[in-house]
Amino acid sequence: MLQIRELLGKIDAEIPFSKAESWDNVGLLIGDMSSEVTGILTTLDCTLEVVQEAVAKHCNTIIAHHPLIFSGIKRIENKGYGAVIHALIKNDIQLIAMHTNLDAYDRGVSAMIADKIGLTKQQILLPAEREMAKLQIFVPHEHAEPLKRALAEAGVGRIGDYSDCFFQLEGQGQFRPNESASPYIGTSNQLEVVDEIKLECVFEPHLQQQVEATIHTAHPYEEPAYDIYRFKVTDQFGTGIRGELETGIKAEEWLLHVKEQLGIQTLRIIGDSSKMISTVGIISGAGVSYMKEVAATGVDLFLTGDIKYHEAHDLLMTGLLTADIEHYSEQVMIAGLKDLLQSFGCTQVEASEHATHPFKAI
């Protein structure tokens, strides 16, 4: 049976918790890493009713999009949020949060909304950048393969779904050892010319200390010659989703379809609703702070939630046609996350049937 730490490992391999924003609180919030998972319940928010649902469905693990705990807790009373925490602990239910790391995923919440409303040709709306490190090292010809194996074991040369990625070029290196040197090849005070291989490969920056230790262990030279430098690449993670409609259509006409598909109580339009649209940008939850970046992408319509009055005027000034689709439109992730977890090999996953919308339209 799967343990919580193994479940977290499966999730992290596909949707790294490290991709969450620095202010966020993701991962295991309540529970025991060694607990065995008897069942998983996915939900947008972890409320007392959701905990009771988990108990009834014999699920000892809840995975919520919105973290129950955001900041430090000074006391836990059996009321409000404290009652939810009390119920989780009393019933030995583990609580995991997948928030901005799931938002940043190309099959995450924005993509789930895009799927629901029928957008095609989906891609990350605002791709993130990430830092990578590149190693350039010189090694005698006969030691190139052992060094590559050692570096690969240390995590070097992994690009996407590929491992052992190296480029090599043959050449000659020269050096002159002094009296205090203990050269693997050569004689003190004599110039030595050696047939060498130049290896180039990339690795994640956090591995640098381990990589350098591997070089000094696996390389035959007393003083290996190598360079490491950092560079930026476009990440496969980012903010929001961009998609296309099958044919151009008036915004107000298509948004009626969106409202129905997402089960939105109120949908507010900012801008000319008679505009013909064919490309749509989505940032689930509250994404209006990205309005300038979204406008620069050239999408015809922007969908997000939680837009305030003055932000709506800013959108008008920006000229970005926008529809407020409510924060609760994220509820599509309840079923969407169930499907994702099952695709990662998780079994016994249930989608919560309890609505956690805090508003009622009258």
- pLDDT, average across residues 293-303: 98
Instruction: State the burial class of residue 27 (Cβ atoms within 10 Å of its Cβ: 0-12, 13-18, 19+).
Output: middle
pLDDT of residue 179: 83
d(CA 83, CA 179): 74
* Helix then strand then coil, % of the chain, to nearest 5: 35, 30, 35
Global confidence as pTM? 0.85
- Sorting pLDDT into bands at 50, 70 and 90, what band is 67? very high
* Residue 26 near residue 97, CB atoms below 8 Å: yes
65 is in an annotated binding site: yes
When the pLDDT of each residue in the chain is averaged and rounded to a whole number, the result is: 95
Nearest residue to 124 (alpha-carbon basis) of 235, 16, 12, 231:
235
330 is in an annotated binding site: yes
Looking at the predicted structure, is the pLDDT value of residue 72 above 80? no
Looking at the predicted structure, is the pLDDT value of residue 204 above 90? yes
CA distances from 88 to 29, 44, 61, 337, 348 (A): 11, 16, 9, 21, 19
Residue 246 CB-half CA count within 13 A: 3
- pLDDT tens digit string along 79-130? 999 999 999 999 999 999 999 999 999 999 999 999 999 999 999 999 999 9
pLDDT of residue 175: 87
66 is in an annotated binding site: yes
Which residues are 199's β-sheet partners? 137, 168
12 is in an annotated binding site: no
- pLDDT tens digit string along 260-294? 999 999 999 999 999 999 999 999 999 999 999 99
Q: Can you list the domains of the chain with their CATH numbers? A: 4-102+333-351 (3.40.1390.30), 109-127+238-329 (3.40.1390.30), 129-234 (3.30.70.120)
Looking at the predicted structure, is the pLDDT value of residue 73 above 90? no
Listed ranges 58-62, 177-181, 343-347; the one with the highest mean pLDDT: 58-62
164 is in an annotated binding site: no
pLDDT of residue 42: 98
* Residue 32 near residue 13, CB atoms below 8 Å: no
- pLDDT tens digit string along 302-340? 999 999 999 999 999 999 999 999 999 999 999 999 999
pLDDT of residue 89: 96
